[in-house]
């Protein structure tokens, strides 16, 4: 057995084509995703600038209320900077791009912008927030004028009082799910290593396989040796990728490295055994089998939310069983349980599902290969 493992390992390490898809490609994709979406939640947006023009036709109390609200917004956050101007000065500043919009204060405040974009959306949200709380401010001004300043300050500070956290109390990041799905995809890319192993056990496909099948070694020993070597190589690949994402890119993986290794361990096994199983099915050519592996891997990754997080959520709502048998989604879910949810029972369930899949795929590969008979080799 050790003899088989030794020479299988040497053969694979000399095959440089096995390095790119299971190792190099996930590293490149993780880096690209990090610089494109990984820092969205941490980005420092430029301060939104607004001019404030007192509406001469409005009532004084309305003008003061809105101006006080804008002042409270400025004090509670660096998101917006409002400056009082005359109507002419404001229009000139808007035309020159010195401000992103003009607030006209008064009984019914309004907003004027010259274009659309992120800054203009923020100003519109500020105005809508004030209008929604306007009646409350009017009641406070009429019944308890001494509490007007406090009420306005509380309205302006509402953005700092809400924090999105999971049920386990950990802060969530909406972009993290893309990287969990990426790890699931990288695990499945172990199918290319499994493909190489299966090709070396089918005598009608490669000369090496023909020589091996002519020997007295039991097929089950060959499969176990190839699986062990392929898995060992891919597990090293995935461990390096996980360390790169956690310690170099510093992604929001709140779980420890050792806690996440079991999920990556099972994911690596799934990728390898899936590749061996697909390659063992039928007598299709090399290109067809590679195409099937790529198609299956990407379809599963898509359903796990790699391209669009809403896809995984939609599948969970409409066809939850589909993502329970999708290894990429199960791997992603296991990482969620470790880094976001406080759900040890669900994590254990995910690990059991992955283990059952590995056993079934290995057994299926053995049954397919042991049935092969050749008239001549």
Task: Render pLDDT for 302-356 as a digit per residue (tens, 0 to 9).
Answer: 999 898 878 888 888 888 899 899 999 999 999 988 887 777 899 999 999 999 9
Q: Which pLDDT score, from 0 to 100, does residue 43 have?
A: 45
pLDDT at 74 over 90: no
Domain-wise residue ranges, the chain = 6-40+171-370, 44-160
User: Could you tell me which residue, 192 or 283, shows the higher pLDDT?
Assistant: 192
Residue 282 zone, left/alpha/beta (φ > 0; ψ -120 to 50; rest): left
What lies within 8 Å, CB to CB, of 282 at 6+ separation is none
| Domain 44-160, classified CATH 3.40.190, yes or no | yes
pTM as predicted: 0.65
The whole-chain average pLDDT of the chain stands at 79
Pairing of strands 48-54, 80-84: parallel
d(CA 143, CA 148) in angstroms, rounded, equals 10
pLDDT at 166 over 50: no
Q: Which pLDDT score, from 0 to 100, does residue 171 have?
A: 46
Q: Which pLDDT score, from 0 to 100, does residue 216 have?
A: 58
User: Mean pLDDT lowest for which of 138-147, 165-174, 234-243?
Assistant: 165-174
Here the tokens at position 260 are 């996440």
User: Mean pLDDT lowest for which of 125-139, 220-234, 247-261, 304-318?
Assistant: 125-139
Q: Which pLDDT score, from 0 to 100, does residue 18 have?
A: 74
User: Could you tell me which residue, 4 or 215, shows the higher pLDDT?
Assistant: 4
Q: 248 phi and psi, to 5 degrees?
A: -95, -55
Task: State mean pLDDT over 87-103.
Answer: 90
* Separation of CA 2 from chain center: 40
Q: Which pLDDT score, from 0 to 100, does residue 191 have?
A: 92
196 neighbors 184 (Cβ within 8 angstroms): no
Q: Which pLDDT score, from 0 to 100, does residue 351 have?
A: 96
pLDDT at 372 over 70: no
pLDDT band at 286 (very low <50, low <70, confident <90, very high): confident
User: Mean pLDDT lowest for which of 38-52, 122-136, 301-315?
Assistant: 38-52
Strand partners, 54: 105
Q: Which pLDDT score, from 0 to 100, does residue 375 have?
A: 47
Task: State mean pLDDT over 53-66.
Answer: 59
């Amino acid at each position: 057995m050790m003899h088989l493992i030794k020479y299988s390992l040497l053969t694979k390490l000399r095959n440089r084509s096995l390095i790119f898809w299971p190792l190099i490609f996930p590293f490149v994709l993780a880096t690209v995703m990090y610089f494109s979406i990984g820092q969205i939640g941490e980005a420092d947006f430029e301060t939104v600038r607004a001019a404030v023009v007192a509406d001469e036709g409005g009532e004084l109390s309305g003008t003061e209320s809105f101006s006080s609200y804008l002042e409270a917004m400025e004090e509670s956050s660096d998101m917006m900077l409002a400056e009082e101007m005359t109507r002419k000065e404001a229009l000139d500043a808007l035309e020159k791009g010195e401000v992103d919009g003009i607030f006209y204060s008064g009984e019914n405040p309004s907003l004027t912008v010259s274009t659309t974009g992120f800054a203009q959306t923020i100003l519109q949200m500020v105005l809508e927030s004030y209008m929604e709380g306007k009646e409350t401010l009017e009641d406070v001004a009429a019944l308890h004028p001494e509490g007007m300043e406090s009420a306005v300050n509380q309205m302006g500070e509402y953005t700092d009082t809400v924090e999105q956290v999971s049920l386990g109390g950990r802060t969530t990041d909406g972009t993290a799910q893309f990287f969990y799905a990426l790890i699931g995809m990288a695990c499945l890319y172990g199918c290319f290593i499994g493909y190489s192993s299966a090709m070396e056990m089918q005598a009608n496909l490669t000369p090496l396989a023909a020589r091996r099948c002519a020997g007295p070694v039991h097929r089950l020993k060959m499969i176990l040796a190839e699986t062990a070597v392929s898995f060992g190589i891919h597990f090293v690949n995935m461990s390096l990728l996980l360390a790169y994402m956690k310690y170099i890119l510093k992604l929001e993986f709140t779980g420890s490295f050792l806690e996440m290794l079991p999920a990556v361990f099972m994911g690596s096994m799934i990728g390898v055994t899936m590749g061996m199983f697909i390659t063992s099915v039928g007598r299709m050519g090399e290109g067809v089998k590679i195409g099937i592996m790529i198609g299956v891997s990407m379809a599963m990754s898509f359903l796990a939310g790699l391209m669009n997080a809403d896809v995984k959520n939609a599948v969970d709502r409409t066809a939850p069983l589909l993502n329970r048998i999708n290894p990429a989604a199960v791997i992603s879910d296991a990482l969620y349980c470790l880094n976001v949810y406080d759900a040890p029972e669900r994590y254990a369930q995910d690990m059991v599902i992955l283990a059952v899949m590995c056993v079934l795929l290995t057994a299926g590969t053995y049954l397919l290969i042991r049935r092969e008979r050749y008239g001549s080799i």
